[in-house]
């Protein structure tokens, strides 16, 4: 466990609750459960068949103004690992510094993500690198969960065993995305799959300097209720990464599973007059 001593006193410590262990076959897994038992998570990350690891993930918890705050993010790099690593180091830190993070979380997310993209590109201005990254994130503030997606990593929620998508892939052939790209002067071309300028197979991402006019880092944000799953989170995350690998994925594979434990509310007796 790592406590960020740089956090301000009114926010409380920012805690990275990752008990990481490098398991067999190159899997890195870990998990945590809150003292009150209402929240637990597990994660699993695997390089897979790729020569290098371009996936990064970040998990942070804190108490701000008496409210529990949890942030979960998976960043899938392409063309290199620098953008994904930058997001791990800065995205949630930047979000928590936003003056309206607690009072208007959706606004804070919508402003922080593009600004972090600008900051990353500025930090890379003197290099010849042009990599990029997706961001699949879930931010829990009190009892409100915000899912923000940039790119084609996916977030789902389980309700009574049913998987419900909370994000939609940002693909260049998506009608609204194609229109946005073409209105900005770009083109969508088929090159094995639909690609922006014949190069990038997603329409939103951090980084990707050469395509930045068309490939934006503006997140789509969904609000979701907190729901419970049946599997122990770390085991579930490991099973999902293993399943993706055995089904033929040749990419890096990273998964975070978050479980919310809720007691059922007592029935309300109707008033009789």
Residue 6 scores a pLDDT above 80 = no
DSSP H/E element including 87:
helix 82-97
Q: What would the two tokens of residue 236 be? A: 């579930």
- Give the span between the Cα atoms of 219 and 111, in whole angstroms: 9
DSSP H/E element including 114:
helix 105-123
- The per-residue pLDDT for range 186-209, each reduced to its tens digit, is 999 999 999 999 999 999 999 999
For domain 2-168+205-260, the CATH class is alpha beta
3-state SS class at 222:
strand
Domain boundaries, the chain: 2-168+205-260, 171-204
Angle at 230 between CA 138 and CA 44, to 5 degrees: 55
Question: What pLDDT is attached to residue 26?
Answer: 75
Question: What pLDDT is attached to residue 7?
Answer: 31
- Give the span between the Cα atoms of 258 and 227, in whole angstroms: 9
Question: What pLDDT is attached to residue 224?
Answer: 59
Residue 72 scores a pLDDT above 80 = yes
Q: What would the two tokens of residue 119 be? A: 């900051």
User: What stretches of 127-248 adopt beta strand conformation (E)?
Assistant: 132-133, 135-141, 144-150, 156-159, 162-165, 188-190, 194-196, 206-207, 220-224
Question: What pLDDT is attached to residue 249?
Answer: 65
């Amino acid at each position: 466990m790592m406590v960020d001593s740089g956090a301000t006193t009114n926010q409380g410590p920012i805690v990275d609750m990752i008990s990481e262990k490098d398991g067999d076959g190159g899997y890195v897994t870990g998990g945590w459960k809150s003292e009150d038992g209402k929240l637990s998570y597990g994660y699993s990350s695997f390089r897979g068949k790729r020569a290098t690891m371009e996936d990064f993930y970040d998990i942070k918890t804190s108490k701000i103004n008496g409210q529990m705050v949890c942030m979960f993010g998976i960043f899938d790099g392409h063309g290199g690992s620098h953008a994904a690593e930058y997001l791990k180091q800065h995205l949630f830190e930047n979000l928590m510094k936003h003056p309206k993070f607690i009072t208007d979380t959706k606004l804070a997310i919508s402003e922080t993500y593009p600004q972090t993209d600008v900051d990353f590109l500025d930090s890379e201005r003197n290099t010849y690198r042009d990599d990029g990254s997706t961001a699949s994130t879930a931010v829990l503030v009190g009892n409100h969960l915000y899912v923000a997606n940039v790119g084609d990593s996916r977030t789902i929620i389980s309700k009574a065993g049913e998987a419900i998508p909370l994000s939609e892939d940002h693909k260049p052939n998506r009608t609204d995305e194609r229109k946005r790209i073409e209105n900005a002067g770009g083109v969508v071309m088929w090159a094995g799959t639909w690609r922006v300028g014949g190069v990038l197979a997603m329409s939103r991402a951090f980084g990707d300097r050469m395509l930045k006019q068309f490939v934006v880092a503006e997140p789509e944000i969904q609000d979701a209720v907190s729901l419970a799953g049946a599997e122990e989170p770390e085991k579930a995350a490991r099973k999902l990464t293993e399943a993706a690998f055995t089904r033929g994925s040749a990419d890096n594979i990273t998964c975070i599973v978050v479980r919310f434990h809720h007691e059922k509310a007592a029935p309300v007796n109707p008033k009789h007059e």
